[in-house]
Amino acid sequence: MTQTTNGINGNGHSASTDLLDTPSAYTQKSNKTHTSIDLRSDTVTVPSLEMRQAMAEAIVGDDVYGEDTTTVRLEQRCAELFGKEAGLFVASGTMGNLLAIMAHCQRGEEIIVGRYNHIHRWEQGNYAQLAGISATTLEVKPDGTMDLDDIEQAIRVQGGYIQIYDESSDTEVTSIPDCHMPASKLICIENTHNYTGGKALPIDWMRSVKMLAERRSLKVHMDGARIYNAAISCNTTVKQIASFADTVQMCFSKGLGAPVGSILVGPKAFIDKARHSRKALGGGWRQSGVLAAAAHVALDHAEATIKADHERAKKLSKMINEATPEALRTKVYAKENDITNMVLIHCENGVSVQQLTDFFQKHDILAMTFDARRIRMVLNWNVNDENLDTIVEVYKKFVAQL
């Protein structure tokens, strides 16, 4: 539920913190220059020289015919990395998640998803708009999880469709136990969880969700756009994290720093369905190896890249809090616990997110207005330690004039 609190901006005017009055963080353009420190997302990175060279030298072919060897190798590499049978290279995480839902569900069936999960909140309701699939949305806890009892109670038809044998015609007839309800087919989880600040989901919780799904004949899809961040945070492997879901989507263009693309992995029959639907959505690649080559380089350096981002995120959040005068620490502060590559700065009690993001932008620092009370800064490989010092110096100027 949206709440409204009025603060005072730098001009002495009322500064609304109502979410409806907050410009869209994902569509608002900035005055970015070549000197800007860009923390709006980890999607803003540009390909490294190593990536550019790999892209220029990639061995390519027509992927729709299955002839792009660089892409085929990427799909096989990721399937093995995630412990799944097969993989599919797609244009984006949004496409990967939609294809997963379409492959798991038929029109008229239903997914169970958190109301603050990316699949529901930031992908335009595409599962309904394009696939004819409904959703039961559940509350999301501060750690990115959903209550297990809530998940179980949301399951509307156990097992969905059933086969009934008709002796008179010697045939099997497909039926639905209750014609009033859609059949629940899929539980969607997100790891790391973007809206809660890049939180890595607890291992025990994911295991419990998978066990619940198996007991109730459902599947689990993981929006693992930043699954490497989750693995590093939990001191484990992406294969273990992926083991708690039947299918997983991961973005190369987020924490790993590649320019374009995501991978969808799962059983071979599932990937075959997803590949078929990908063509219908306009996602049939041609010489996709040019982009797959950059994804290969991103995977080569994945652990080192993610670890560096996590270290800088923890350092930045601590530096911001240390730079905040004690009298202002209930108004402006950064979360320091359980963070990965995201720093969330909270603005409350008369300080608005727009004040701080505008101040940063005037000093060539770009941050995202995440919601009515939070600013998101995402560490990425284009941000170095010297940049952190610059960010904090600008922040000190901001709090000094409050």
CB 276 within 8 A of CB 105: no
Percent of the residues in the chain that have a pLDDT greater than 90, as a whole number: 85
Cα(190)–Cα(234) distance, rounded to whole angstroms? Answer: 15
**342 and 227 both lie in a single domain:** no
pLDDT of residue 46: 93
Q: Is 395 a domain residue?
A: yes
- DSSP secondary-structure letter at 15? E
Contact 119, 113 (CB under 8 A): yes
pLDDT at 23: 52
**Distant-in-sequence, close-in-space partners of 309: CB < 8 Å, separation ≥ 6:** 42, 229, 255, 340, 341, 379, 380, 381
Same domain, 129 and 246: yes
Which one of 300, 335, 363 terminates a domain?
Answer: 300
pLDDT at 6: 36
The reply to whether 35 falls in a domain is no
Residue 205 lies in a domain: yes
CA pair distance 39, 390, nearest whole angstrom: 13
> Which residues lie closer than 8 Å to 228 by C-beta, 6 or more apart?
238, 250, 255, 256, 302, 303, 306
Query: What is the tens place of the pLDDT at every residue in 97-143?
Result: 999 999 999 999 999 999 999 999 999 999 999 999 999 999 999 99
Judge whether 42 lies within some domain. Answer: no
The encoded tokens of residue 295 equal 């994804």
Q: Can you give the CATH number for the domain in which 149 is found? A: 3.40.640.10
pLDDT tens-digit series, residues 209-256? 999 999 999 999 999 999 999 999 999 999 999 999 999 999 999 999
CATH code where residue 367 lies: 3.90.1150.10
In a domain, 36, yes or no: no
Token pair for 397: 């100027």
| 372 found inside a domain | yes
The domain boundary residue, chosen from 281, 300, 319: 300
Residues contacting 326, CB < 8 A, separation 6+: none
Question: Which token pair is 281?
Answer: 């959505």
266 lies in the same domain as 357: no
Count of structural domains, the chain: 2
| Greater model confidence, 29 or 357 | 357
Find the mean pLDDT for residues 15-29.
52
**In this structure, are 209 and 195 located in the same domain?**
yes
Residue 284 shares a structural domain with residue 331: no
Pair (213, 312) in one structural domain: no
Backbone angles phi, psi at 142, to 5 degrees: -60, -20
How many beta carbons lie within 10 A of that of residue 280, not counting itself?
11
Q: Which residue, of 268, 300, 332, is where some domain finishes? A: 300
- Structural domain including 22 reads 6-30+303-400
CB 355 within 8 A of CB 9: yes
pLDDT of the residue at 32: 82
Q: Residue 209: helix, strand or coil by DSSP?
A: helix
- Contact between 251 and 223 under an 8 Å Cβ cutoff? The reply is no
Q: What is the pLDDT of residue 387?
A: 98
**pTM across the whole model:** 0.90
Helix, coil or strand: residue 395: helix
Across the chain, mean pLDDT equals: 91
Instruction: Kindly state whether residues 315 and 287 are assigned to the same domain.
Output: no
Q: Residue 168: its pLDDT value, please? A: 75
CA-nearest of 245, 265, 251 to 302 is: 251
58 and 192 share one domain: yes
Beta strands 110-114 and 134-138, pairing class: parallel
Q: Tell me if 65 is assigned to some domain.
A: yes
Can you tell me the mean pLDDT for 38-43? 96
Give whole-number Cα distances, 284 to 7, 92, 274, in Å. 50, 13, 11
Average pLDDT over residues 304-318: 98
Query: From CA 233, how far away is CA 253, in angstroms rounded?
Result: 19
Does one domain contain both 291 and 326? Answer: no
Same domain assignment for residues 126 and 236 = yes
Together in a domain, 230 and 341: no
37 belongs to a structural domain: no
The pLDDT value recorded for residue 397 is 98
% of the chain beyond a pLDDT of 70? 90
Q: Do 261 and 320 fall within a single domain? A: no
CB 143 within 8 A of CB 338: yes
